[in-house]
Structure 1
């Protein structure tokens, strides 16, 4: 099987991306793959922002993974920029083959290239398998996160 390529996502990739976002118990509750209009509007905002990097992994012409990398300029840490990794997903039939590792390694390398001094991510408290995965890649559980739905 050939190695997947990682490239910027296009609007044509949205159906596959949204399907992957919805393909777990949490995503199934909050995503709507049958109505792509809000995702297209969000994609247009992401594509227009140079601090946003939405990518897909493609194998044999098929989208099999995705993540979003956001560069956040800041004052703390002596004015350092940090990168935030979000929405990491690997297609169900590609899991366990190293694609998730490849995506995260791409994000770390891209963060370095963009001058970030820190890479961070969040993961829902119920995703214990994901937590072990991120720890294997060198991430540490260093903070407690909070959310407020608006």
Structure 2
């Protein structure tokens, strides 16, 4: 996979990122790839925040993967800083080839570099294959998550 470049996302990556976010049954119900306006506003907020790391994986000039890494300082666990991995998506033509593993390994290594003591992530309860993937990479299902739409 040495032909993969993992780099910070730019605004020009948004169409490909949003298309990947929408490219599964769950994402298809909550994403709007035909209207990038809200994504552009969110991208500006992310780009201005040094604790946010929206990255893409690029192969031969094509955006083929993405994830967002958020660094959160905290008081618990003796003031431990943690990172949260969100929005992991791989282009359908690249799935099963190791790119997801490479992206997660990048996020874990980057978290260490940024002084994090823990990496956590959430995955929708319906994404059973994703759960097995994260467990293979050493993540443990340790908490029960709750969300409240506003």
Same fold (TM over 0.5): yes
Q: Distance in 2 between matches of 1:2 and 1:50?
A: 27
Q: Tell me what 1:147 maps to.
A: 147
Residues 56 and 64, structure 2, Cα contact 8 Å, conserved in 1: yes
Contact (CA 8 Å) 1:6, 1:55: kept in 2 or not?
yes
SS of corresponding position for 1:17? helix
Which residues of structure 1 form unaligned runs of 5+?
none
1:76 counterpart residue number: 76
Off by >4 Å, runs of 4+ in structure 1: none
Q: Secondary structure at the match of 1:93?
A: coil
Tell me the residue number matched to 2:135: 135
The 5 Å alignment of 1:39-118 reads 39-118=39-118
Q: Distance in 1 between matches of 2:96 and 2:27?
A: 20
TM-score in terms of structure 1 length: 0.99
Give the TM-score normalised by structure 2: 0.99
Q: Please report how far the alpha carbon of residue 3 of structure 1 lies from its aligned counterpart in structure 2 after TM superposition.
A: 2.4
The Cα of 1:66 is off from its aligned counterpart by 0.1
Distance in structure 2 (CA, Å) of the matches to 1:41 and 1:144 = 31
8 Å CA contact 1:2, 1:59 repeated in 2: no
Q: Deviations over 1:68-127 (max 9, x none)?
A: 000000000111100000000000000000000000000000000000000000000000
Counterpart contact for 1:72–1:81, Cα < 8 Å = yes
Deviation at 1:2, TM superposition (A): 5.6
**Alpha-carbon deviation of 1:17?**
0.1
For the 8 Å contact 2:46–2:52, the answer to whether it is kept is yes
Aligned Cα RMSD in Å?
Answer: 0.8
Q: Distance in 2 between matches of 1:142 and 1:148?
A: 20
